[in-house]
Structure 1
Amino acid sequence: MSANKLAVVGTGVIGNGWIARGLAKGYDVIAYDPAEGAKEQTHKAIENAWPALEKIGLAPGASKERLKFVDDLPSAVTGADLIQENVPEREQLKRQVLAEIDEHAHSEAIIASSTSGIIPSTLQKDCRHNPERVIVAHPFNPVHLLPLVELVGGEQTSSVVINQAYEFYQRLEMRPLVVKQEIEGHIADRLMEALWREALHIVNDGVATTKDVDDAVVYGPGLRWALMGTFMTFHLAGGEGGMRHMLHQFGPALKKPWTKLEAPELTDELADRVINGCESQAGDTSIKEWERQRDEFLVKLLDLVKEYWPEQEDKPLDGQNEPYDSNSMSG
């Protein structure tokens, strides 16, 4: 599928990240968001992201001038090869917007939702024209730098569309991951939520401050996770015996009540601890400055990741990825 036109519907933090990435990779991008001031916020977000994108390298033809902001949804999606929906995380709103996109998109377009938690079978229910072309393509903030995108098909999704989407996101220099079964929160968000719940318990119980928790991640497991993730980290923990020895040695500890699977009650006291802790950590530095620092750090970190994990010509059906079967995606 030849594709060079990206439409972005909803231009909040995630939508603007998609726009910046698309422009940096040399695409024409059409954006739509009815919110007051959305166009101005998008241009500010692109200006803020562009220095980091220049550092990692712009594609031939990349230009901020290739963005067109339109006043209605049909104008945004008509003729687009990939349409990325990013409206607020409310099921009925997303279903309504996706149905409208489906009505006006051409029959070969990929219709993708950035939803972090709603399954695609639900999202495609109101699409009357091409529901088989509706998928979830869940990215991570900042989208213009972080390469992971989780691809999830629903009950009506065509395997052809999953493969087309896989190739499209690769051309955006992303690392697509096909999620084999529908599940709320997909993969990465479920992992992050588990850590988030534990972090809230630790702060709520007075074990540590928000800064203590962040330091524990930044200077400990976070450094290892950036290179090899969870399973390979534990594989190395087993020494020469690898994961086999690790499970034999430490497996029984899994039964110990280390974790608290349920989130704590979000009381006013807990909210104050978290908010005050984060504001204390941030100090007088603005959010925009924090974003610039984050982007500079990620550019350098991504260079390290590429050095140790060179790019490979991955295919959606290669390696351990079994062929996508839409019948297995029923949740």
Structure 2
Amino acid sequence: MSTALLVGGGLIGFSFARRFVDAGWEVRMTDVREELAGAVKDEFGDAVRFSTALEELADGVDFVQEAGPEKLEFKREIFARLASLNDTAVLASSTSAILPSRIAEGNPAADRIVIGHPFTPPALMPVLEVVPGPATSPETVERALEVYAELGFEPSALKKEIPGFVGNRIQKVIMWEAISLVQQGVIDAKDLDTIVRNSLGLRYAATGPFESNRLGGGPDGIKSIIEHIAGAWDTELVAGVPDMSDLDEVYAQVDAAYGNDEATFEAGTRRRNALLRGFLDVRESH
């Protein structure tokens, strides 16, 4: 049986732990918070071994998934300790912003360090970005892809590192344009969500941007739609630049539409997760 070590017991760490347990792995988890032992026991019973001492858990582990704070120094320290405690495991980080080359800098196990970036909620979302650094070996990337696929993700490997990786770069473009449109008074925040949810949201749940445009181009494919429709976008459509120093009106509209308290957060999360499960069930049946 393969063994996984989760470093960090937050939402990401627990979600990965659940996937590893369900895939039949032996699972260990470490966190500096001693009080987390009870939560781990309640959630996983005896399926996850918990300790605040990393040294007690790292030996003999096949795969490490770090899901700690988004702080470079923390990650460098943890990965340096992991390198000294284990000679063979893939050392993966869930970071959404820090480049693997920065985490691996000066680390003797740089060839085993890779990013495995999920999207929230990782227990449901199939996406998993595998991001290598310049020193990451092809074998590490291949093993990471195999493991994540075994956990039920649909992983994709980037060919090289880039700030924000891929998902967040696309997300930023959409979000910045959305904020700009609201700030310009073109549309209210809730109506913008309705448009995206009922257009790109539905479409991209079934097909990505390239496949969508291939289908939009008819039998002749993507070249047809870009040359006849999208070709004019370069001159007619210019992306807006939001004023990030003045977001009060945007915040107010979003709060008015969706709330900003515990009750609306819990209700919104339940609704989102139920819809995601439904989308995934339908997609898997096709």
Q: TM-score, normalised by structure 1?
A: 0.78
Structure 2 CA distance, aligned partners of 1:230 and 1:31? 38
Q: Which residue of 2 aligns with 1:302?
A: 280
Structure 1 CA distance, aligned partners of 2:41 and 2:258? 27
CA contact (8 A) 1:6 1:82 kept: yes
Amino acid of the structure 1 residue aligned with 2:61: A
Structure 2 CA distance, aligned partners of 1:147 and 1:297? 14
**Structure 1, residues 257-315: CA drift from partner, whole Å, max 9, x if none?**
4312x4432435246325524543x788453443333332222211222223xxxxxxx
CA contact (8 A) 1:17 1:141 kept: no
Once the 2 structures are TM-superposed, how far is the Cα of residue 127 of structure 1 from its aligned partner? Answer: 1.7
Structure 2 CA distance, aligned partners of 1:35 and 1:197? 37
Once the 2 structures are TM-superposed, how far is the Cα of residue 24 of structure 1 from its aligned partner? Answer: 2.1
Q: Which residue of 1 aligns with 2:158?
A: 179
| SS of match in other structure, 2:80 | helix
Amino acid of the structure 1 residue aligned with 2:19: R
Structure 2 CA distance, aligned partners of 1:41 and 1:265? 38
| SS of match in other structure, 2:116 | strand
Once the 2 structures are TM-superposed, how far is the Cα of residue 232 of structure 1 from its aligned partner? Answer: 1.3
CA contact (8 A) 1:148 1:176 kept: yes
Structure 1 portions without partners, runs of 5+: 47-62, 309-331
Structure 1 CA distance, aligned partners of 2:79 and 2:126? 24
Q: Which residue of 2 aligns with 1:124?
A: 104
Q: Which residue of 1 aligns with 2:202?
A: 223
CA contact (8 A) 2:40 2:48 kept: no
Structure 2 portions without partners, runs of 5+: none
Distance change >3 Å, CA 43–CA 288, structure 1 → 2: farther
Q: Which residue of 2 aligns with 1:140?
A: 119
CA contact (8 A) 2:6 2:13 kept: yes
Q: Which residue of 1 aligns with 2:11?
A: 13
Amino acid of the structure 1 residue aligned with 2:277: V
Matched ranges for 1:84-233 at <5 A: 84-104=65-85, 106-128=86-108, 130-233=109-212
Once the 2 structures are TM-superposed, how far is the Cα of residue 247 of structure 1 from its aligned partner? Answer: 1.1
Q: Which residue of 2 aligns with 1:27?
A: 25
Amino acid of the structure 2 residue aligned with 1:10: G
Amino acid of the structure 1 residue aligned with 2:100: P
Once the 2 structures are TM-superposed, how far is the Cα of residue 187 of structure 1 from its aligned partner? Answer: 1.0
Distance change >3 Å, CA 258–CA 35, structure 1 → 2: farther
Q: Which residue of 2 aligns with 1:66?
A: 47
Structure 2 CA distance, aligned partners of 1:161 and 1:293? 37
- Identify which of structures 1 and 2 has the higher relative contact order when contacts are C-alpha pairs closer than 8 Å and 6+ apart: 1
1:292 equivalent to 2:255? Answer: no
RMSD over aligned CA atoms reads 2.4
Once the 2 structures are TM-superposed, how far is the Cα of residue 150 of structure 1 from its aligned partner? Answer: 1.0
Structure 1 CA distance, aligned partners of 2:220 and 2:170? 26
Amino acid of the structure 2 residue aligned with 1:110: V
Amino acid of the structure 1 residue aligned with 2:97: G
Distance change >3 Å, CA 15–CA 273, structure 1 → 2: same
Q: Which residue of 1 aligns with 2:236?
A: 256
Q: Which residue of 2 aligns with 1:323?
A: none
Amino acid of the structure 2 residue aligned with 1:81: D
CA contact (8 A) 2:182 2:250 kept: no
| SS of match in other structure, 1:65 | coil
**Equivalent residue pairs, number:** 285
Amino acid of the structure 2 residue aligned with 1:111: L
Once the 2 structures are TM-superposed, how far is the Cα of residue 25 of structure 1 from its aligned partner? Answer: 2.0
